[in-house]
């Protein structure tokens, strides 16, 4: 997503300026009648495309989607044509720049990018073979992995991993885990001082 409202505001300001410029260029180049015909064609095209896209949705949602697409196309489509007609390649660059920097598109690309960047689940060692120190260290490291996870699937994988660590800690030292929790255990905390000193825990 955009890192600040300032960036989003700047994009909308540029879009409004480019749209107004494009519409004025269209009227100046083809006259009011030509601009009207272009707006009408853009609206009809938007209705056809939007009807196909929202045909399977709820009727009220579909009508709203078609209406938004029609209004946007009636303004943005002719404005883009006016910019390209008036400035040629420069107009193409303006239209492409505003398109690829649109907040919705940027958010979508970033979401997909971070999902792809999530590390694939790795084969984990059997927790029963870890020492107390190794198990507690794995618990603390898993918190950092959870913080770094970008997708729901990656977070779920780490949560399941942390549950395995916690279950093993409880199996070894139920009293120690209970004392740790009673002391206000943090998700990133170290349970070793509580479970490592439990002489009554069961180990393999």
Task: For residue range 66-91, list pLDDT tens digits in order.
Answer: 666 667 777 888 888 888 888 889 88
Q: Is the pTM of this model over 0.85?
A: no
- Are the beta carbons of 176 and 194 closer than 8 angstroms? yes
Does residue 12 surpass a pLDDT of 60?
yes
Q: What is the mean pLDDT of the chain?
A: 77
Q: What is the pLDDT of residue 174?
A: 92
Lowest-confidence segment of 3-12, 20-29, 106-115, 139-148 by average pLDDT: 106-115
- Tokens coding 3: 């890192």
Query: DSSP readout, 146-202?
Result: HHH--SHHHHHHHHHHHHHHHHHHHHH-HHHHHHHHHTT--TT---HHHHTT-TT--
Task: For residue range 143-199, list pLDDT tens digits in order.
Answer: 888 888 888 888 898 899 999 999 999 999 999 999 998 888 888 889 999 886 544
End-to-end alpha-carbon separation of the chain, Å?
49
Q: Which long-range contacts (CB under 8 A, 24 or more apart) does 25-34 make?
A: 25/82, 25/83, 25/85, 25/86, 25/87, 26/78, 26/79, 26/81, 26/82, 26/85, 27/82, 28/86, 29/82, 29/85, 29/86, 30/85
Helices 89-100, 5-53: axis angle to 10 degrees equals 100
> Hey, where are the domains in the chain?
5-114, 118-195
The arithmetic mean of pLDDT across residues 37-59, rounded, is 65
């Amino acid at each position: 997503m955009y890192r600040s409202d300032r960036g989003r505001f700047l994009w909308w300001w540029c879009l409004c300026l480019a749209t107004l410029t494009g519409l004025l260029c269209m009227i100046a180049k083809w006259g009011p009648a030509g601009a009207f015909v272009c707006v009408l064609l853009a609206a009809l095209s938007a209705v056809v495309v939007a009807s196909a896209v929202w045909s399977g949705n709820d009727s009220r949602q579909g009508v709203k989607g078609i209406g938004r697409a029609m209004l946007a196309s009636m303004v943005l489509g002719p404005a883009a044509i006016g910019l390209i007609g008036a400035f040629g390649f420069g107009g193409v660059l303006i239209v492409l720049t505003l398109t690829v920097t649109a907040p919705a598109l940027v958010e979508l690309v970033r979401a997909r990018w971070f999902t792809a960047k999530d590390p694939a689940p790795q084969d984990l060692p059997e927790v029963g073979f870890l020492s107390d120190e190794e198990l507690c260290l794995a618990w603390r490291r898993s918190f950092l992995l959870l913080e770094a996870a970008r997708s729901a699937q990656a977070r779920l994988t780490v949560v399941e991993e942390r549950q395995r660590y916690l279950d093993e800690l409880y199996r070894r030292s139920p009293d120690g885990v209970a004392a740790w929790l009673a002391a206000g255990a943090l998700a990133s905390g170290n349970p070793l001082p509580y479970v490592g000193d439990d002489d009554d825990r069961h180990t393999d």
